[in-house]
């Protein structure tokens, strides 16, 4: 019998990166039996977080975070959710405080907030994040734990072409379009929940295509 993993990728505006790291680190360690894995990338004013666990455990973690810490994160947007992943990208939960000067960008042209721009931005952001996670998965699979951490540290210092630009994350966070993760969590516990988020955008087809290389 196959046991599927749920993946959630979300971003949020934050006020204090140290509080965010401390918050998730404590909650995930406290709930160690839930086997939560993933990667938290924290900048000075926003975060990008991949969480891998059972669907129930992911929503439970999100509910605890959002209910008790609403002032620490705002504009929380769900970038992608998949509840039928065959395996995890990461063996543990990792976090890194990223350097702002490694981000691409602020010279990029500002985007008009319409459905077409939001859709294409989501596709670009999520597609690139999946490529980053797959590269990290290969590093972890083929190398030692120490080498993997060294590679992550290099990304902190030098950045990475698959990490979204500040403009794109800022655009998603400020847009009237997209999925508010706080609302999705509330709907889940109110049983007003669609079982498969893979259908919510054309990102899914692209992710499935990227996953072909990952699953080989």
The tokens describing 96, both together, are 């890194």
**Gap between the Cα atoms of 56 and 50, Å rounded:** 15
**Gap between the Cα atoms of 127 and 46, Å rounded:** 19
| Count of CB atoms situated within 10 Å of the CB of 143 | 13
pTM, rounded to two decimals: 0.89
CB 113 within 8 Å of CB 175: yes
* pLDDT for the residue numbered 202: 54
* Secondary structure of residue 16 in the 3-state scheme: coil
CB 57 within 8 Å of CB 36: yes
* pLDDT for the residue numbered 198: 46
* pLDDT for the residue numbered 93: 96
* pLDDT for the residue numbered 210: 59
**Gap between the Cα atoms of 171 and 27, Å rounded:** 29
CA–chain centroid gap for 210, Å, is 16
CA distances from 4 to 19, 122, 130, 135 (A): 31, 24, 18, 21
- Which residue stretches of the chain have pLDDT < 70? 1-2, 104-108, 192-216
Q: Work out the angle between the directed axes of helices 55-68 and 17-30 (0-180°, nearest 10).
A: 130
* pLDDT for the residue numbered 127: 92
The arrangement of strands across the sheet holding 179-180 comes to: 93-97, 37-42, 46-53, 5-14, 73-85, 179-180
* pLDDT for the residue numbered 144: 75
CATH fold label, 5-202: Alpha-Beta Plaits (3.30.70)
**Matching residue, tokens 């999520």:** 126
Domain regions of the chain by residue span: 5-202
């Amino acid at each position: 019998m196959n046991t599927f993993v749920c993946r959630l990728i979300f971003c949020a505006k934050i006020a204090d990166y140290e509080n965010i790291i401390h918050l998730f680190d404590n909650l995930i360690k406290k709930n160690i039996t839930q086997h939560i894995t993933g990667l938290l990338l924290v900048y000075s004013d926003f975060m990008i977080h991949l969480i891998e666990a059972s669907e129930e455990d992911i929503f439970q973690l999100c509910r605890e975070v959002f209910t008790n810490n609403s002032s620490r994160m705002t504009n929380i947007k769900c970038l992608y959710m998949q509840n039928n992943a065959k395996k995890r990208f990461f063996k543990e939960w990792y976090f890194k405080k990223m350097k702002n000067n490694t981000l691409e960008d602020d010279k990029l042209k500002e985007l008009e907030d319409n459905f077409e721009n939001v859709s294409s931005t989501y596709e670009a952001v999520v597609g690139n994040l999946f490529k980053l996670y797959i590269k990290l998965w290969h590093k972890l699979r083929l190398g030692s734990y120490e080498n993997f951490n060294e590679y992550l540290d290099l990304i902190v210092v030098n950045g990475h072409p698959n990490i979204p630009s500040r403009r794109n994350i800022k655009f998603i966070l400020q847009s009237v379009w997209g999925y508010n993760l706080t609302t999705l969590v509330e709907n889940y516990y109110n049983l007003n929940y669609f079982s498969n988020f893979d259908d919510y955008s054309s990102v899914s087809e692209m992710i499935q295509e990227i996953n072909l290389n990952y699953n080989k």
